[in-house]
Structure 1
Amino acid sequence: MSPARDIEAVRKEAADWLARLRSDARGPADESDFKLWLNRSEDHRASFDALTETWELAGALKHDPEIVVPPAPRRSPVLARRAVLAGVGVAAVGLGWLALAPEVYATGIGETRTLHLDDGSSILLDADSRIRVHLEGRKRKATLVRGRAFFRAATDPVKPFVVSADGREIVGDGGDAFDVSVNGAAVAVTSVEGQVLVMEAGQPSSRLIAMAGQRIVMAGEAAPRREAADVQAATAWRFGQAVFDDQTLAAAIAEMNRYSRRRIVLSEPGLEDLRISGVYKAGDNEAFARSVAVLLDLKVQTSAGGLLIAPRAGA
């Protein structure tokens, strides 16, 4: 057996032992056999220690009093059907060869993409987004470089699913579903099902837990904040909708421009702080612009293939 294969075999044995020791059927014979295996080689001990350290970021934190809560309710049949329908027009990509190296995926304006991972996890990548995915040995890691993605992490008793975003790490404990967005220096994590751990990269002491229906927002040097989330609004992009609740006009336009090349611009800076609420079809910038014009007493002009929102004459 080659050294590389020998190391991989030891890692697999270590993973098997960790799963066996965490089993409800664990008994004295298991513990005795494990000690014999552990003392047989320094490689055994090193592999098991490394694997345990990785797992403790997620699995062992279940015993933290902060996160011992009743299980989150399952998705309603209506939401499940909507999730299926949302697959229309989304490309599905098989990732059977991801173990070789990190792979980079990107979407353009108005494009979404579904990635199916070998471990059973899936990622829905939003428009104008970029992500790196790496599955190798003990690692299940994705780095969201920009944009937004919805993650559904498959259960794995020894390998947490880790998402890196602008110096933060989001750790799924298996069976979790969560939404991550990167907007400049701001990162937002919304837990949809299960619970996720959020921390500064390499700093477990900074951890916060987002349970289903909660969001953690981190922006620049400000302290992270945890708050209740409108999950349907936060993940409406998966169903082709843009939902705004008292957002600034500038923020709403930036969101709409992710989905259409017919870009909306404002004629002057004073308009960007106006507030807007409503549910709009992602990609239909003209309907959005004309609705905003009516609601805020503005006007819309066609400009170089785009849409210009400006004050009405005399307003």
Structure 2
Amino acid sequence: MAAKWFLQSEAVALGHADRARLETWLAADPRHQAAWDDVATALRTVADNAADREFLAMRSRALAARPERRWPLSRMMAAVAGLLVVVLTSILVFREVYPGPVHRNGIAAAGPARALYRTTIGGRAEVTLPDGSVAVLDTDSAMRIAYTDKERGIRLLKGQALFVVAKHQPAPFQVYAGSQRVTAVGTRFNVRVEGHGRSPKTSVALIEGVVRVAGLDFAGSAMPDRRTGEITMRAGELFDSARPGALRLSASEAEGAASWVSGTLSFNDMPLGRAVAEMNRYTARPIGLGGGDIANLRVSGVFKTGDSQHFAESMAEVFHLRVAHDARGNPLLLPSPE
């Protein structure tokens, strides 16, 4: 049941009625919450190793396997049910469709090379792209590959990704995120999409090399060529679609822009409310904030992703707060009683 609920919540946004039923089921028995956490952990493990060669080889062997003898119907139905869970999990975390062969330079020989990659909450996946470039997907992120003979195209659908671009390729490497297009040659940069709708916020942190960021007009999911502006970024700069131009990052900010790749988040004088929001992206046990103005407290430091309880306890100790728990057992930071 936990797997069913978790997969359903990952595949589609739950309505109010389904969300209420899920909350009721979780609160009915502590074992239900434990089962939910086990499923989340299993999916996170799969996501973290989605692009691992051994994992892919094992997946291929499993799909190619054939039963050697007939099973009783009841046993076969149980096996099919288990297989469906595994297959659905794989689809949610890692789905690939390559309709044509790919040349050594990464350009599709017959039609575009396309693949969809997704990670669950708390998951992370490193993906080797057809041309040898590497993309690392952050928690709850999704990207689609769209390589053609004219461009090495990537569409970041949501979340965040770090790109390490292969050099000396005939086609430009271009990432489409929100209403922006990022063009790079032999460089390393981080792209993040926040929000939904036709104009989500897009940010680009350039770690090394040079990139060009161009604003685009979008109609649905199309990628037209008409530009509405372009800037050139240098290493150590940050582009934010909500602001004009590019900002120069401090050394610590530049280093922390992609710290999530190593499983940590680096905060430099960040409001506690924003820091909590960042930490909550990596866990199924989000931290809540109580009354007062504690959301405005300033946080600096490096923290491990996915450990909301430890982060809450650390903040309570530093700022003299107290940690309570909500009905689902999630940590809740509250002002200390006078």
Q: Which of 246, 250, 271 lines up with 1:248 in the alignment?
A: 271
Structure 2's unaligned 5+ residue stretches are 1-46, 57-95, 100-107, 217-224
In structure 1, distance between residues paired with 2:267 and 2:150: 40
Root-mean-square deviation (CA, aligned residues, Å) is 2.3
Q: Tell me by how many angstroms 1:96 deviates.
A: 8.5
Name segments (4+ residues, structure 1) moved above 6 Å: none
Aligned positions of 1:1-315 closer than 5 A = 89-92=48-51, 97=98, 99=108, 100=112, 102-173=114-185, 175-184=186-195, 185-201=200-216, 202=225, 204=227, 206-219=229-242, 222-229=243-250, 230-268=253-291, 270-303=293-326, 304-314=328-338
What is the one-letter code of the residue matched to 2:188?
Answer: A
In structure 1, distance between residues paired with 2:123 and 2:138: 7
Helix, strand or coil: the match of 1:305?
Answer: coil
Q: Tell me by how many angstroms 1:111 deviates.
A: 0.3
Deviation string 1:260-300 (CA, Å, 9 cap, x unpaired) is 21210112373322221111111111111111112222111
Deviation string 1:203-237 (CA, Å, 9 cap, x unpaired) is 55722111122221221xx4243322532211110
Relative to the length of structure 1, the TM-score reads 0.66
Q: Tell me by how many angstroms 1:242 deviates.
A: 0.8
Deviation string 1:12-56 (CA, Å, 9 cap, x unpaired) is xxxxxxxxxxxxxxxxxxxxxxxxxxxxxxxxxxxxxxxxxxxxx
Q: Decide whether aligned partners of structure 1 residues 271 and 131 sit closer, same or farther in structure 2, where only a CA change above 3 A counts.
A: same
In structure 1, distance between residues paired with 2:286 and 2:249: 32
Structure 1's unaligned 5+ residue stretches are 1-87
How many residue pairs end up in the alignment?
A: 224
Deviation string 1:96-123 (CA, Å, 9 cap, x unpaired) is 8275553222111110011111111111
In structure 1, distance between residues paired with 2:266 and 2:181: 27
What is the one-letter code of the residue matched to 1:91?
Answer: A
Contact map agreement 2:149 2:171 (CA 8 A) in 1: no
Q: Tell me by how many angstroms 1:169 deviates.
A: 0.6
Q: Tell me by how many angstroms 1:157 deviates.
A: 4.2
Contact map agreement 1:149 1:181 (CA 8 A) in 2: yes
Q: Decide whether aligned partners of structure 1 residues 140 and 232 sit closer, same or farther in structure 2, where only a CA change above 3 A counts.
A: same
